Amino acid sequence: MTRALLDNQRARRLFLDRHLLLRPGSGAGRADDLDAVLHGLGFVQVDSVNTLARAHDLILWSRRGRYRPEALERLVSHRRTAFEHWTHDAAVIPMPFYPMWRLKFARDEARMRARWPAARRDGWEAEIDTVLRHIADNGPACSNDLGGDEKKGSSGWWDWHPSKTALEFLWRSGQLAICHRRGFRKFYDMTERVIPAVHLTRQHDDDEIIDWAMSEALLRLGFGTSGELAAFFDIVTRDEARAWCARARSAGRIIEADVEMADGSRRRSFTTEEVLDSIPALPEPSSRVRLLSPFDPALRDRARAERLFGFHFRIEIFVPEVRRKYGYYVFPVLQGDRVIGRLDARRSGNCLVVSAFWPESGVRMGKGRISGLIAELERITTLAGVEGVEFSSGWLQE
């Protein structure tokens, strides 16, 4: 049987639509509307870097211009319609997905018990019961509330004091849950006091969880290899993903298609007949210029983004300044179905200072496109908490 061919433009538009970036986007950006956005994306990655806005806030704002950061905190801490845990990294996840995380809790616990004794400071395992008892008896706690007599680490993120390590172990293994944040500091409580009973008590076997994770990943990506589908939630192993794809294909649930990459090559991927049938109804992309987080779900798989969009992107936070090609924390810029460039901008006082914009090869920065970029920067001042935009001399790098 001849495989379907998905040309690059249609592939990009399908992919962006599944990531809620093809259409203009409207909605309140809070409460039920924000729950719907989070469910559509599957999760949003949480990151602490705040040169302009935190990653999770920019991800949501790029899809809902009326979104404000307190709205996401309310989903987690008040509405309890979302919870914090891990996919490929720390993330906020729709609460209905919680029962599917039991497999991840168990696998993460096994990995931590195998690897952390050699990778963390001694003594954390002895603190597990103490930390659990403290929170059970006294209520929510952050890492500063624990290990009062322990020497605090000073050599990096992972140089945790033993009680902090025990706290993270209990969270990653599902025995504690994040109940709220204060500033960006996490507070943990007993899982049964945070997760609604309807989700806490629901049980699924491993095969059901694997089937859910792969099916839901395909729904949100539109197409993907078995490895890309496994990596989406990072619950399923690569071997399990390959086996699932073989079974699903044999059962007629999924099909193979050749997806054209930006360089004209073809990548064999899995999709469904329903997805392919939906493509003709996709609208023309919004003309809005959009500032994206470096951790935007559409770009977080750097290799896939480069293949599909021809956009090579690396975060240079850990690159010595003299060796950086662009900047400390540079934002990808999307227009329509193309990544048109990257922007170096940050808050300074009461202004958003734009140091540089680098157009992608072949992108012409005419008056209309420049006006669109400036309009996006003016829109984001509210999210960034500044009053205006200031452009450095020679900011447009053509």
Instruction: Note whether 120-195 and 289-391 share their fold.
Output: no
Helix locations, the chain, DSSP H: 8-18, 31-41, 55-61, 69-74, 102-119, 124-138, 162-172, 191-194, 197-200, 206-221, 226-233, 238-250, 273-278, 302-309, 367-384
Strand partners of residue 6: 259
Poorest-confidence range of 109-113, 157-161, 301-305, 306-310?
157-161
Predicted local confidence at residue 223, as pLDDT? 98
Two structure tokens written together for 226: 């078995």
Strand 44-45, strand 90-94: pairing: antiparallel
CB-based contact 362:341 (threshold 8 Å): no
Mean pLDDT of 1-23: 95
DSSP symbol at 261: -
Predicted local confidence at residue 161, as pLDDT? 87
242-265 pLDDT tens trace: 999 999 999 999 999 999 999 999
Give me the DSSP letters along 197-254: HHHHS----HHHHHHHHHHHHHHHHSSB-HHHHHHHHT-S-HHHHHHHHHHHHHTTS-
CB-based contact 231:88 (threshold 8 Å): yes
- Is the predicted pLDDT of residue 318 greater than 90, yes or no? no
Mean pLDDT of 190-204: 98
CB-based contact 190:135 (threshold 8 Å): yes
- Is the predicted pLDDT of residue 41 greater than 80, yes or no? yes
Query: Which of 219, 128, 203, 220 has the alpha carbon at shortest distance from 165?
Result: 128
The alpha carbon of 258 is separated from its chain's Cα centroid by a whole number of angstroms, namely: 26
Q: How much of the chain exceeds pLDDT 70, in percent?
A: 97
- Is the predicted pLDDT of residue 154 greater than 70, yes or no? no
Predicted local confidence at residue 155, as pLDDT? 46
Checking 7-13 for CB contacts under 8 A at 24+ apart, the result is: 7/260, 8/259, 8/260, 8/261, 8/262, 8/264, 8/308, 9/337, 10/279, 10/282, 11/222, 11/223, 11/259, 11/260, 11/308, 12/308, 12/309, 12/337, 12/338, 13/279, 13/282, 13/285, 13/337
Predicted local confidence at residue 24, as pLDDT? 85
Mean pLDDT of 9-28: 94
- Is the predicted pLDDT of residue 156 greater than 60, yes or no? no
SS3 annotation, 57-98: HHHHHCCCCCCCHHHHHHHHHHHCCEEEEECCCEEEEEHHHH
**Rounded distance between C-alpha atoms, residue 220 and residue 243, angstroms:** 20
Question: Strand 44-45's sheet: what is its strand order?
Answer: 44-45, 90-94, 82-86
Residue 46 burial (C-beta neighbours within 10 Å; 0-12, 13-18, 19+):
buried
169-188 pLDDT tens trace: 999 999 999 999 998 999 99
* Phi, psi (degrees; rounded to nearest 5) at 396: -85, 105
* Phi, psi (degrees; rounded to nearest 5) at 190: -60, 140
Fold of 289-391: Aminopeptidase (3.40.630)
Mean pLDDT of 292-302: 95
Predicted local confidence at residue 150, as pLDDT? 61
Q: CA-CA-CA-CA torsion for 140, 142, 148, 154, nearest 10 degrees? A: 170
CB-based contact 19:301 (threshold 8 Å): no
- Is the predicted pLDDT of residue 1 greater than 70, yes or no? no
pTM over 0.85: yes
Fold of 120-195: Arc Repressor Mutant, subunit A (1.10.10)
SS3 124: helix
CB-based contact 212:205 (threshold 8 Å): no
**Rounded distance between C-alpha atoms, residue 68 and residue 60, angstroms:** 9
SS3 21: coil
Hey, where are the domains in the chain? 120-195, 289-391
